[in-house]
Amino acid sequence: MKELLGKNRLMVFTLLAYALVFALAPPLFWDALENTWMYVREMLEILPAVFVLTGLITVWVPPRVIIDNFGGSSGLRGKLISVLIGSVSAGPIYAAFPFTHSLLHKGASLANVVIMISAWAVVKLPMLIVESRFLGIHFTAVRFLFTVPAILAIGAMVGARTSREGVMAVGPVDESPVDTHGYLREVLTGVNCGACGYASCSEFARALHRGDADIDECNLADEETKEKVRHMLRIG
């Protein structure tokens, strides 16, 4: 029981706070309960669609697509795509977490995930439209021009100072791990030249996956491909 309470401290504290308010100020309790139900109802309307989208990404989108566009080797292009996706998103910020969690486990870099969540929170298009209506287009434009570089800088700092593997280690266990071997087999040249010492690129991919080979043994892979393979081996 003690361990259960320890894991759910926030929930226990919240329930005790509600009980205290109910005892001291019943009208305030009912107002709080009404507001709570409003937010719960909003979550019930939004999260099912988010979970469906997350599931589709997990099942249908190959790891190579995620790594090429959001991985550590995606460079400035990956960061700008992350800002774009966060900017055109709809729904409250909590909807971003299951979505970006799926991207992280498919090979996205921590920096790009932070950038996407940040853009989702402060520069998404629906919010900019409302902001410009009430505060003016000039204010909105200036804030946007200052905010986007700040988001990119925050993402870069988090990516440089925080280990992606460390973040994933403290999170929930992913029941659908990245298909590392499938990605390696897909990203290699496929000419089956045998110069690496293996009969085919597929066998070489299996050796890379096991740790028995090094990507530098492939004479036909360019530096971009080698960097993608190294990144995949680090997260796989």
115/128 Cα distance (integer angstroms): 17
Q: What is the mean pLDDT of residues 41-46?
A: 78
13/23 Cα distance (integer angstroms): 15
Instruction: Give the tens place of pLDDT for each residue, 8-20.
Output: 778 888 888 888 9
Chain mean pLDDT for the chain: 80
Q: How many CA atoms lie within 13 Å of 100's alpha carbon, on the beta-carbon side?
A: 26
Instruction: Give the tens place of pLDDT for each residue, 136-184.
Output: 999 999 999 999 999 999 999 998 888 766 676 665 544 444 555 566 6
Quick one: what percent of the chain has pLDDT higher than 90?
A: 16
Q: What is the CA radius of gyration of the chain?
A: 23
pTM over 0.85: no
Q: What is the mean pLDDT of residues 101-117?
A: 87
172/150 Cα distance (integer angstroms): 29
* Residues contacting residue 184 through CB under 8 Å, at least 6 positions apart: 205, 208, 209, 229, 232, 233
Top-confidence residue, 107 or 153: 153
Q: Is the pLDDT of residue 212 over 90?
A: no
pLDDT the model gives residue 177? 47
Q: Is the pLDDT of residue 217 over 80?
A: yes
Q: Is the pLDDT of residue 58 over 60?
A: yes
Q: What is the mean pLDDT of residues 224-234?
A: 76
Q: What is the mean pLDDT of residues 106-125?
A: 89
pLDDT the model gives residue 173? 45
Q: What is the mean pLDDT of residues 199-213?
A: 80
Q: Is the dihedral of CA 128, 129, 134, 137 positive or negative?
A: positive
Q: What is the mean pLDDT of residues 189-195?
A: 74
Categorize the per-residue pLDDT at 40 as very low, low, confident or very high, splitting at 50, 70 and 90.
confident
Q: What is the mean pLDDT of residues 29-57?
A: 79
pLDDT the model gives residue 157? 92
DSSP three-state, residue 118? helix
DSSP three-state, residue 36? helix
Helices 96-105 and 26-60: crossing angle in degrees, nearest 10, is 30
pLDDT the model gives residue 175? 45
Q: How many CA atoms lie within 13 Å of 134's alpha carbon, on the beta-carbon side?
A: 4
